[in-house]
Amino acid sequence: MTSPKTARRLNRILGMLPWVIANPGATVDEVCERFGYSRGQLLADLDLVFVCGLPGYGPGDLMVAYVDEDEVVVEMADYFAAPLRLTPPEALSLLASGMALVSSGQAPPALERAVDKLTAIVLPDGGDALSVDLSEPAFVGELRRAAADGTVVRIVYTALAGAQTTTRDIEPWAVFSTMGNWYVSAHCRLAAAERLFRIDRIRSVTPTEERFTPPANPPPPIVAYTPSDSDVQAVIALGPRARWVVDYYPVEILSEDPVRDEVTVRFSTSDASVAARLLLRLGDNARLVAGEEVGEKLSELRRRIRARYAR
Amino acid sequence: MQKVIERILNLLAFLLTAERPVTADEIRTTVAGYQQAGDDAWRRMFERDKDLLRRLGIPLELRPTDAWEVEHGYVVPADDYALPDPGLTDEERAALWLAAQVVRIGGQPPGPDALFKLGGAPLTASGEPLAADLGTQADDLAEAFAAVSERRTLRFGYRGTPRTLLPYGLVHRRGHWYVVGPEKRAQDTIKAFRLDRTEGLAATGTSESFTRPEGFRAADAIPEAPWQAGEEDVVATVHFDAAMAWWARRQLTAGATVTENDDGSLEATITVANPEAFIGWILAFDDHAVILSPPELRERLLARVGAA
């Protein structure tokens, strides 16, 4: 297979040529800025174009490409006057990310116009065939602003486990969305540690007068699980309809049983009730193989819910 | 690298101007860069070059050279090669570029290749943090999107059953991608399939093999709440304790009727199309939510909870 570097260079040439043909008189600097070229790279590509063309390969068959008084000149290359169409991954990437930003209400008007124009050429017969909804819950805007200008905010937070509600001052670092949920990563002054908060579980946000200095190297905004020695462990067997757990939780696959169509995983968590609640939700589709603490939590959860329904 | 690019520019120039199918032999003897190679080297070189053209998105087709179809030759149809001019301004191009840096698919931000095809733009390197991630299944997504935009049928397995879908649309909602459309064997019902649950997804058949109904909106096929995606029709009444009422309110959709009691707790009447998903949602409230009616739904929840 040809190297990706060759493909990228060729792609840039096939993008640069139509633009230069359509914009006669463009300077070297303009072309370089627009296509991310250094001066040397552009000159090398023009030299390369100069020796290519149509069979015969004599003067009159080859393309003409050179720099004249700092203007880029391309002639005899009309067959490369049209830009190359986008591949499906390229079109999807541009459209989906554009639509996502528009749906979040964070987009400048230029992006909305760009998405409409691009949709019209990529999906000419069905502009509504692609839809990306990244609507933001309450407080995303406030938290994003606080992260940007380094404002300490006071939040009221209910981490669902046990439905305990706490008030804490946090130094918000980054706001992001993944797997359909919005999160803010922050230094939590109550915990005196780095914490990740699900924004839909924040009940109120109040900016304080205080400012903080963001860390020089904040951790990447991802939902990552950091194992620790105090973790609770459980071994869980997942049936076919519970297999999705493997993709959604940081589990370690222990074994697969093709006969029963089960996969057995080790589930580590800082809070046994997280695993218990998951098992409850999965019902018959999963079973706890080992993990005393999780088993106790699960029994307790079952008892509480049964008691509630017995009233 | 230089030689490869020269050869491919020559090949492409030849194909774009030939206006007829040209055979591999003709390419070998005509296009500069191939003549010196021996038989094996030529074949390898040509295969690699065709692969590179296709990767860049250049349509390369094999067509008969004459009515008797004895010989076949290569064609790059000019209409399929060219990108119709979307008429973007520099500001609009830069906005698209920035969006693709902030909202990612498959983890990595895209390179500027797509933007160069659109005419490039003065770019500022962006230090913006990753603001949103639209999922990691970039390959399946690209395949599904290609099928949607080219209107080709899509085959995949879903919960163990093989499906053939006319993909009318593609929707991202609540963190998941859905491919939307009717199954080929029952074209009256529009269905939505979660992309991450499909297996062996592949576009098949020819392009433009179906027509979307007038005014079709893919987003309409995805219900607002997971419990609205299903075949059943149950009206449930639920009590939410005051402590968790705020969280219930945030998730209840427009269709639900909600009354607040004096103590801050809620009674909600909710139409449920997917009881399994609904029970899963109610269980997320621990013992702070109780299904009051109908009795069958209460029983189903207790069956899921199991014995203490």
Supply the CATH number for residue B160's domain. 2.30.30
Provide the pLDDT for residue B124.
62
Residue A207 lies in a domain: yes
Q: B6 by DSSP, 3-state: which?
A: helix
* Domain carrying residue B112: 90-133
Which residues of chain B fall short of a pLDDT of 70? 106-108, 123-131, 136, 308
Test A132 with B134 for CB contact under 8 angstroms: yes
The pLDDT assigned to A224 comes to 62
| Residue pointed to by tokens 């005899």 | A76
B117·A176 Cβ contact <8 A: no
Residue A221 has pLDDT above 70, yes or no: no
pLDDT of residue A134: 76
Domain-ending residue, one of B63, B81, B99: B81
Say if A221 falls within a structural domain.
Answer: no
* Polymer length of chain B: 308
Residue A225 lies in a domain: no
Residue B159: left (phi > 0), alpha (psi -120 to 50), or beta? left
Q: Looking at the domain assignment, is residue A256 inside a domain?
A: yes
Strand partners, B162: B157
Query: What CATH number should be reported for the domain holding residue B19?
Result: 1.10.10
Name chain A contacts of B86, Cβ cutoff 8 Å.
117-118, 120-121
Q: Taking a contact as any Cβ pair under 8 Å apart, which residues of chain B between 133 and 172 contact chain A?
A: 133-135, 138, 141-143, 145-146, 148-151, 159-160, 168-172
CATH number for the domain that contains residue B282: 3.30.70.240
Nearest to B72 by CA among B81, B82, B58, B61: B61
ipTM summary value: 0.78
Instruction: Dump pLDDT digits (tens) for B104-130.
Output: 776 667 778 899 999 998 766 554 545
Q: State the residue range of the domain holding A294.
A: 232-310
- Give chain B's mean pLDDT: 88
Query: How many Cα atoms within 13 Å fall on the side-chain side of residue A61?
Result: 13
**Residue A222, exposed/middle/buried by CB under 10 A (0-12, 13-18, 19+)?**
middle
Q: Do B141 and B105 form a contact (C-beta atoms < 8 A)?
A: yes
Please indicate, yes or no, whether residues B121 and B143 belong to a single structural domain of this protein. Answer: no
Closest in B49, B59, B91 to A110, CB measured: B91
Beta strand pairing status for B72-75 and A262-269? Answer: unpaired
Residue A145 lies in a domain: yes
The torsion angles phi and psi of B233, rounded to 5 degrees, stand at -145, 90
Within a domain: residue A219?
no
CA atoms within 13 A on the CB side of A117: 18
Query: What's the confidence (pLDDT) of residue B127?
Result: 47
pLDDT tens for residues A161-210? 456 789 999 999 988 887 677 889 999 999 888 888 989 889 899 999 99
Q: Is A82 helix (H, G, I), strand (E, B) or coil?
A: coil
Number of domains in chain B: 4
Q: Looking at the structure, tell me whether residues B161 and B206 fall in a common domain.
A: yes
What is the count of structural domains for chain A?
4
Model confidence pLDDT, tens digit, residues A56-113: 999 899 999 999 999 999 999 999 999 999 988 899 889 998 998 888 777 889 999 9
Neighbours of A4 (CB within 10 A): 11
CA B236/CA B278 separation, integer angstroms = 10
Residue A236 pLDDT more than 50?
yes
**Subunit contact B110:A93, Cβ cutoff 8 A:** yes
Flag whether pLDDT at A269 surpasses 70. Answer: yes
Which CATH number characterizes residue A260's domain? 3.30.70
Q: State the nearest Cα–Cα gap between B268 and chain A, in angstroms.
A: 17
Q: Which residues pair with A202 in a beta bridge?
A: A157
Which residues in A182-217 are b (16+ Cβ under 10 Å) and which e? bbbbbbbbeeeeebbbbbbbbbebeeeeeebeeeee
Mean pLDDT of chain A: 88
Query: Has residue A47 been placed in a domain?
Result: yes
